[in-house]
């Protein structure tokens, strides 16, 4: 959190700098080049962690890419928690909970690191979520609700609990159907695109409001439409060891005839409780990821 704030507010964008983590949890500047540092800032690449504990380094690897966002290098990250067979909820919309408590904590950390969290109308309708950071320290992100034809009830929590700013996004010309916005709620009209809202225009509007770190939290339709529009920089998919059988799908993209035209993602793998978290970087050249360090034909037990 400190690193994220520092990247945006305190750092001279042109200068490298090194920091140690103080017992208070704050970052202290390390002026002497020979003294050890826990974190270093590179204006071109962002944050790098130098933890000696593997568990601490894993946390830095997972969260520093998000904390490295600046006005010139914003980030959009999507997260889904899915079953082994690729579903995020049952057909009736029950998704409490596909993944375990550690992944829910991870999701709250992502919210705390981000300026804004985007969810689709289906999620708001099914879950009535608050989208707050109540499990961790850090402020609540602004809530961006994709409600293209203003069908969601104003009584839902995001429009009525006053816990954070809420922006209801609808297709141009449809905001009249939303009625008067509640306190803390505002409306944004976005032009229609091929698949509903023009998401590139939406992202431009969010960046113009100063939202450098944006979390797309679901559901599957929403994450898929951002992916299809090429607007995701990082994709976190937590896979839970359960089978739902049939239900609301996770990522669904238009069919491809050839596997070589499908997205193969550069990734890191983390264990998060009983779930496996894939952290996929959609902006770096593809490699074979984790397997590339193994001898051909070998396997390695990781957990």
Ligand X SMILES: NC(=O)c1ccc[n+]([C@@H]2O[C@H](COP(=O)([O-])OP(=O)(O)OC[C@H]3O[C@@H](n4cnc5c(N)ncnc54)[C@H](OP(=O)(O)O)[C@@H]3O)[C@@H](O)[C@H]2O)c1
Cα separations in angstroms, 167 against 116, 144, 147, 202? 10, 5, 10, 11
Site membership for ligand X, residue 49 (CB under 6 A): no
E strand spans, the chain: 17-21, 27-29, 39-42, 46-49, 75-83, 87-89, 116-120, 142-146, 166-171, 185-190, 192-193, 196-197, 213-218, 234-240, 248-249, 266-272, 275-281
- Which lies closer to ligand X via its Cβ, residue 47 or residue 87? 87
Compose the 163-202 pattern: x for residues touching ligand X by CB under 6 A, - for all others.
--------------------------------xxx-x---
CB of 220 to ligand X, least distance (A): 4
- Residue whose CB is less far from ligand X, 38 or 279: 279
Q: Could you give the count of Cα atoms lying within 13 Å of 55 in the half-sphere of its Cβ?
A: 1
Stretch that binds ligand X, among 1-9, 22-30, 67-75, 141-149 (CB under 6 A): 141-149
Nearest-CB residue to ligand X?
219
7/142 with CB nearer ligand X: 142
Tell me: does residue 100 bind ligand X (CB under 6 A). Answer: no
Helix, strand, coil percentages for the chain (3-state, nearest 5): 25, 25, 45
From candidates 62, 78, 221, 227, binder to ligand X by CB under 6 A: 221
CB of 223 to ligand X, least distance (A): 7
Q: Which is nearer to ligand X, 138 or 148 (CB)?
A: 148
Q: Is the dihedral of CA 186, 190, 195, 199 positive or negative?
A: negative
Q: Which residues bind ligand X (CB under 6 A)?
A: 80-81, 88-89, 93, 95, 98, 119-123, 126-127, 146-149, 151, 195-197, 199, 217-222, 225, 248
């Amino acid at each position: 959190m400190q690193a994220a704030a520092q990247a945006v507010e305190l750092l001279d964008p042109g200068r490298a700098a090194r920091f140690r983590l103080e017992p208070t949890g704050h970052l202290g500047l390390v002026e002497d080049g020979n003294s050890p540092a826990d974190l270093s800032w590179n204006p071109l690449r962002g944050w790098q962690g130098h933890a000696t504990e593997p568990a601490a380094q894993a946390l830095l690897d997972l969260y520093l890419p998000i904390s490295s966002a600046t006005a010139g290098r914003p980030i959009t990250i999507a997260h889904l928690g899915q079953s082994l067979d690729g579903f995020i909820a049952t057909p009736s919309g029950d998704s409490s909970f596909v993944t375990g408590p550690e992944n829910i904590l991870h999701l709250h950390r992502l919210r705390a690191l981000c300026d804004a969290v985007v969810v689709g109308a289906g999620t708001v309708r099914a879950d009535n979520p608050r989208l707050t950071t109540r499990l961790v320290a850090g402020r609540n992100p602004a809530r961006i609700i994709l409600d293209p034809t203003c069908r969601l009830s104003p009584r839902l929590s995001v429009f009525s609990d006053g816990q954070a700013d809420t922006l209801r996004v609808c297709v141009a010309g449809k905001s009249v159907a939303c009625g008067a916005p509640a306190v803390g709620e505002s409306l944004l009209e976005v032009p229609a695109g091929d698949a509903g809202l023009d998401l590139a225009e939406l992202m431009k509007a969010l960046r113009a409001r100063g939202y450098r770190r944006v979390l797309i939290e679901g559901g599957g339709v929403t994450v898929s439409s951002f992916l299809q529009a090429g607007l995701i920089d990082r994709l976190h998919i937590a896979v839970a060891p359960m089978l739902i059988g049939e239900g609301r799908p996770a990522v669904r993209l238009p069919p491809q005839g050839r596997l070589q035209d499908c997205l193969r993602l550069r990734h890191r793998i983390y264990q998060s409780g009983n779930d496996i978290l894939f952290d996929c970087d959609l902006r770096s050249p593809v490699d074979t990821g984790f397997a590339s360090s193994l001898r051909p034909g070998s396997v390695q037990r990781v957990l």
